[in-house]
Structure 1
């Protein structure tokens, strides 16, 4: 079919009433997968790898940091620095998410990555509790801000037919970072290789500096044409799409015709917080309930197990703390394989059945594993294998939660919506889950911990039921059809709006 690299005459011109017609979404969605899309995935998807790396490093290096002669942190202060990271992530997500919708995706994913790099390097040079806690909070703020800016950009640049597969795969790379973190920890915790005091500091400095390469790669990414489109710059959006089309056509040959027509939008200013609240709790109330349920339930399940993983292994199975990273590796591989293996089914079979299935399987297996643990039927490696299977499904479910909240709301408020749900899930799961499991483990009774597993299982099953009831079909559909833009002049809402 003939290549089309420019908008149809008459498109993108703004009428006196502020309205315009644009075929930018259709042109982006018709593109075949190309080097451009790989660049988007690598340059932006690195966020989740960095988060997984940071979380795993701090957990695995906690002993070395605790024993650092310069920091002299107590066990309580180690815990508080973990909380500082979570608080920073929550506040960073909200603040930078708000800015991302106002100032654009591209500008923010540079700012947030620069903040992450600076804070990670700063961590390696901290000198006391307060400097270390500040460094962790700033690192969390950078990562939290990345989630909003990057999730928005990825969903808006990837063709509709591949959006689910890509989003799940990218979110799943958190566990690639966890694998790297566990591997690095095994190396730097070995006194025969490097002095642990130098090792843990160098790890944070190097992990930050390595991200400079990602910063250079992001220079080649454009602003999201969809963001420009809804902010009254359809001509610039069309020009950027034209450049992308030329590059893709040179690689793939003539492009297919768009599968749907132009959309009509109205030029408008920035969306206010009040309008966001009205959309979330008015026309999009069911989607808000669905997003909160999916995010909170998976966050509780994940953080409850992951943050107490080492405690269970050391207290109930007698595994030395220095050997814990070896048990994290298979767990992380299972988490990575889940989204990579199951992701394409979210585009082919559909969001609703697959999200229901993955949450449901994780809940059932969590309950079964809890009963086996309480009865003392499992060895340390069998326990690890059980966790690995559970989170093969739970990882795909958690990644789908981020996909769902990104697709649920209009383009004008997408980044802030992602930030709100990320912040809610991080705060709820990061505080309640680990605190509850830590308290249950402290009692030293397997029967007590069983209740924690059953609560996590019940929450995952509740999330599965909620998805089955309130879930909507987004597979293969343009974002503008899944949630009508506010600038279209009518409210997009409800289920499948």
Structure 2
């Protein structure tokens, strides 16, 4: 009896030592996990910064093309230069959204970067036997770059969201971290595009030259190439390794469970992009209409000033997401954005008579959009779905958003031109845009769920849901598949 009791006590002590050792190992790995999570977030932010730069720089160079290549540049070519990148993004979002769930985040990251670099290089080197031929090469190249840039949306947003779930400290700040990584990074790229365009123009003594657009285009590959080393060394997140589905996806079960958040996140993103993209493009047009004697240098400068208002909006939105909640911040932002839009639309004429006042009011209008849906769309589309499907749904929502951007860009110009005067057309555009933001707020509140801040919560619920409905979860998770292959 004494011997067996001693044996039991020894086993208990050994068990305690093993548990203590496991806890100690876990504690030791926490700083490493935190560093890895922060690094992944930073790299994702740098990637989307470069995407923002490459998306915006074409808008600043198009007036230059009109001067340098009068025979080849037309309204049709101008539209195709802008739309090729946008269409490429839509396909990239859908393709890479599925890819990163199927074969891993790291593979998607490398592939998206490769397409982006290839497209930017080809666009920079665009040439042809005629001006029209050169523009067609540029259009195709911009489409390739857009495909890679579109892939960065689901790749970076999922990576940042999952990286910010590695420790409790990161999880508490995930709203702010993801806001910095996604929308803030993209908007900072917009601002950088304007600043670099101004610097390069100044280097050419503000003279219209082919070197201006080739240099500004070429600088777009510096950052993607610089972060390639870090991206190649990145590993799939802990959540992905635990919950990846390597077999056939049960899409019927998935849609039955997630149709409502899918509709909510997609339509909210549609409403956001439907308004923000046209107004972002029209800012330079409105400035030109108010000050027709401005030079290209001045118009780019004013446009860059307006883009700077995006940045504080993103920071405030990131803080609010952690304080009041994701969908709450999105709804609040949509509503404030709409109210401010109605004010601008109703009092546009007296506001425009004081040009600095208009710049500030217009900038605040843009900032409110970034504060709410601008930062919240990424995180709501990431957290509303489980890890095995995060890329699918985030890519789909982002693609629907870009479709909204394309539609908004196409319809706002005819709306503005349908009125007797430019002033009335601008007023109508503001009022219609404000109405759409209100719709976005309503959709966000009623269709987007409040989710747990811990990703594992929904992942576990989804896994249990699949098991209850007869789905084979024996190979659920990347690690299980790897172990199974190793054992055979």
Cα deviation for residue 376 of structure 1 reads: 5.8
| Superposition deviation, residue 375 in structure 1 | 5.2
Q: CA deviation at 1:212?
A: 1.1
Corresponding residue for residue 260 of structure 1: none
Distance 2:223 2:205 in 1: 25
Match of 2:197 among 175, 179, 185: 185
Cα distance change, pair 302–321 in 1 and its aligned pair in 2 (3 A): farther
Greater Cα offset, 376-385 or 84-93: 376-385
Change (3 A) 1:288 1:34: closer
**Greater per-residue helix proportion:** 2
Determine the structure 2 residue equivalent to 1:283: 257
Aligned to 1:209: 222
Q: Distance in 1 between matches of 2:28 and 2:402?
A: 32
Q: Deviations 1:4-42 (Å, cap 9, x if unpaired)? A: xxx979x9xxxxxxxxxxx9xx99997699443331122
Counterpart residue number, 1:325 = 300
What residue number does 1:451 align with? 428
The 1:486–1:313 alpha-carbon spacing in structure 2 relative to 1, beyond 3 Å, is: same
2:140 maps to 1:134: yes
| TM-score normalised to structure 1 length | 0.80
Q: Is contact 2:266–2:396 with CA below 8 Å preserved after alignment?
A: no
| 1:411 paired to 2:423 | no
Aligned residues: 432
What are the equivalent positions in structure 2 for 1:63-462 lying under 5 Å apart? 63-69=63-69, 72-127=72-127, 128-159=134-165, 160-171=171-182, 172-190=184-202, 191-192=204-205, 196-231=209-244, 269-272=246-249, 275-276=250-251, 278-280=253-255, 282-318=256-292, 320=294, 322=296, 323-374=298-349, 377-397=352-372, 398-429=374-405, 431-443=406-418, 444-462=421-439
Change (3 A) 1:8 1:433: farther
Task: Confirm or deny: 8 A CA contact 1:122 1:135 kept in the other structure.
Answer: yes
For 1:366-422, what per-residue CA distance to the aligned partner results, in whole angstroms no more than 9, with x for missing partners? 111112224565433322211211222211222201111111112111111111111
How far residue 297 of structure 1 moved from its aligned partner, in angstroms, is 0.9
Separation in 2, partners of 1:485, 1:136: 42
CA distance, structure 1, for counterparts of residue 27 and residue 73 of structure 2? 55
Counterparts of 1:414 and 1:269, CA distance in 2: 14
1:210–1:288: structure 2 CA closer, same or farther, 3 Å change rule? closer
Once the two structures are overlaid, the 10-residue window that deviates more, 202-211 or 363-372, is 202-211
SS in 2 for 1:189: helix
TM-score, length-scaled by structure 2: 0.81
State which drifts further: 143-152 or 184-193. 184-193
Give the equivalent residue in structure 1 for 2:441. 464
Q: Residues 309 and 377 of structure 1: is their aligned pair in 2 closer, same or farther, counting only changes over 3 Å? A: closer
Contact 1:407 1:483 in 2 (8 A): no
CA RMSD of aligned residues (A): 2.9
Q: Distance in 2 between matches of 1:377 and 1:68?
A: 32
Q: Bigger CA drift: 124-133 or 38-47?
A: 38-47
- Aligned equivalents of 1:364, 1:445: Cα separation in 2: 23
Sort the Cα spacing of 1:356 and 1:28 in 2 relative to 1 into closer, same or farther, 3 A: farther
Displacement of 1:485: 5.8
Q: Which runs of 5+ in 2 are unaligned?
A: 1-17, 128-133, 166-170, 469-488
1:79-136 deviation per Cα after TM superposition (whole angstroms, max 9, x unaligned)? 1111111110001111121111111001110111121112111111111122111111
Please give the alpha-carbon distance, in whole angstroms, between the structure 1 residues aligned to 2:80 and 2:35: 43
| Secondary structure of the structure 1 residue equivalent to 2:83 | helix
Deviation at 1:156, TM superposition (A): 1.0
Q: Judging changes above 3 Å, is the alpha-carbon distance between structure 1 residues 307 and 86 closer, same or farther for their aligned structure 2 residues? A: same
2:36 is the counterpart of 1:36: yes
Distance 2:29 2:309 in 1: 31
Is the 2:47–2:224 Cα contact (8 Å) retained in structure 1? no
- Structure number with larger C-alpha Rg: 2
Q: Flag the 1:197–1:455 CA change in 2: closer, same or farther, 3 A.
A: same
